[in-house]
Each structure stands twice: as C-alpha cells, then as structure tokens.
C-alpha cells in the first residue's frame, strides 16, 4: 500500500526538496508549513499543501486530524520544520530563545505524540527527525540553535527505545551545510542581535561562514531521507551535506579543547 508522508517545513529548502522527491517516488505526500502560498507549486507533483504552525497546538491538531480523515493515517512523519537563530547567548532575549525551542523542539515532539497511537495500531511507522551536525557540535554565536538540535538528538534516542517494539523506527538526519533559506534567516537574527555588541567581530565572522557557496543542493538530504525510510534495518543516524562527515568524525576523535581550537580557527581572518 502507498505510504502517507507528512513533511513539515515544506515551503522551502530540505522540506520542499524532500516532499517533491518522495512524491516522485510514489509516496502520498502532505507538505505542511505556515507559508502555504509558497507551496502551491507542490500541487503539480501531487503533493497536498496543508497549513501548519508548529508553535500553535490547535494548528498541529487540525493538521493531523485532516490527514487522518483523508488518508487514514500518517505512516511517515518528517519533522523538518525549524530555523536557526543566531546571536551570542548574552545578547539573545529569553523570548527569542523560547521561540527557537518552541519551533525546533516542542512542535516536532507534539506532532510525534499525535501520530504515534495510529502508528502503534498499524504496527508500522517512521519518525524522521531533522537534526544537524549542530546537534553534535556547537559553534559560538548559535547556542540556542545548538541547544534545540542537541535536544532533538536526545529525544530521538529516548523515543527510539520506547517505540521500537511497536514496529516504529525513529531516525535522525544530520545535515551539514545545505543551500537553503537557513543561512539567510540565521544571518538576519545575527545582525539584529549581536552585530552592534561586544561580540561584533565574532558575529561578522560567522556571517561569512554561513554564506558559503560550497553548500550542495537540498536534494542530497532528500535522498538520504528516502534511503532511511526504505532501509529494512535503518541506521539510527544519517549525515550528509557540506563537511558533515568530517565534522562528525572530528567530534568523535578529538578532545573538547582541541575541538575548541579547530572551531575558533574558523573565526580568524
């Protein structure tokens, strides 16, 4: 039977590429985002756009209810909705910090809570959580973003152990640098938060690092997601994108102090 997929954050970047790629490969895809006007072109691929604000419980409930009525169940949930808010921890307001976690963590976990009962009943389900290499390693000027991705990593590990016996797989995707709106949003918040503070020099360096032209297209991650979904025995984690494997390997083999030096060398010049 055709599997029904919900991809959040489907209005751009990895989410949009994933929704299109899965639809092209025979899945029944719902693409969800706040900016529904940016998903109208998805209809030509047979994708059903649906409004979703992951910071509002009523929106999350309505999204899951609509798909359940139309398709019977959500077989595969791809928690991709999220953004990167940058700025020194000293400079970021608690309001902005809470919003970062609300979008990147609590919204994803609330959706997961709602789809699990039907997945359990069906004895089949895939929960794909889009983390980041930033869920394993933390750069300066993005502490709250890293906190959100470290949280997704930990929650995924706990959830994987809780639901495996019900036929549900929990898989983490850890992208490195990818061409998307992510860098633009991160740099906008960086300028607003820390470009005129004591951290200005570091903020300017991070802005240049975020704007690399070497990042691959998001289809790289879309293909990884499909691979993880279709694997008979999926790995717990998949990584791809600019420098992803190198950075994750460094995290495993060098000490914290050596890693600090490696990271801060990127901010020189």
Q: Which residues are catalytic?
A: 131, 145, 149
What CA–CA distance (Å, rounded) separates 92 from 88? 6
Q: What is the largest CA-CA distance in the chain?
A: 58
The full 3-state SS of 10-23, as one line of letters, equals: CCCHHHHHHHHHHH
The full 3-state SS of the chain, as one line of letters, equals: CCCEEEEECCCCHHHHHHHHHHHHCCCEEEEEECCHHHHHHHHHHCCEEEECCCCCHHHHHHHHHHHHHHHCCCCEEEECCCCCCCECCCCCCHHHHHHHHHHHHHHHHHHHHHHHHHHHHHCCEEEEEECCHHHCCCCCCEHHHHHHHHHHHHHHHHHHHHHHHHCEEEEEEEECECCCCHHHHHHHHHHHHHCCCCCHHHHHHHHHHHCCCCCCCCHHHHHHHHHHHHCCCCCCEEEECECHHHHHHHHHHCCHHHHHHHHHHCCCC
Exposed / middle / buried, residue 248 (Cβ in 10 Å: 0-12, 13-18, 19+): middle
Q: Which tokens sit at 1?
A: 């039977």
């Amino acid at each position: 039977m055709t599997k029904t997929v919900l991809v959040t954050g489907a209005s751009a970047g990895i989410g949009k590429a994933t929704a299109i790629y899965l639809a092209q490969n025979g899945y029944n895809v719902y693409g969800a985002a706040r900016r529904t006007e940016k998903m109208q072109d998805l209809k030509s691929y047979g994708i059903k756009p649906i409004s979703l604000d992951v910071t509002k419980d009523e929106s999350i409930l309505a999204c899951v209810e609509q798909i359940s009525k139309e398709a019977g169940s959500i077989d595969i949930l791809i928690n991709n909705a999220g953004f990167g808010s940058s700025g020194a921890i000293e400079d970021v307001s608690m309001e902005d910090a809470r919003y970062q976690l609300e979008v990147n963590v609590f919204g994803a976990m609330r959706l997961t809570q709602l789809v699990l009962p039907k997945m359990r009943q069906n004895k089949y389900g895939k929960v794909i959580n889009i983390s980041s290499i930033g869920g394993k390693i933390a750069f300066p000027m993005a502490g709250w973003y890293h906190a959100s991705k470290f949280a997704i990593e930990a929650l995924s590990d706990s959830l994987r152990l809780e639901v495996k016996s019900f036929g549900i797989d929990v898989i983490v995707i850890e992208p490195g640098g990818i061409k998307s709106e992510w860098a633009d949003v991160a740099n906008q918040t960086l300028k607003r938060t820390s470009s005129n503070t004591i951290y200005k020099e570091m903020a300017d360096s991070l802005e240049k690092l975020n704007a690399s032209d070497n990042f691959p297209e998001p289809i790289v991650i879309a293909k990884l997601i499909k691979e993880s979904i279709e694997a008979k025995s999926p790995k717990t984690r998949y990584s791809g994108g600019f420098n992803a494997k190198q950075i994750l390997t460094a995290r495993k083999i060098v000490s914290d102090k050596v890693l600090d030096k490696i990271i801060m060398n990127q901010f020189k010049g």
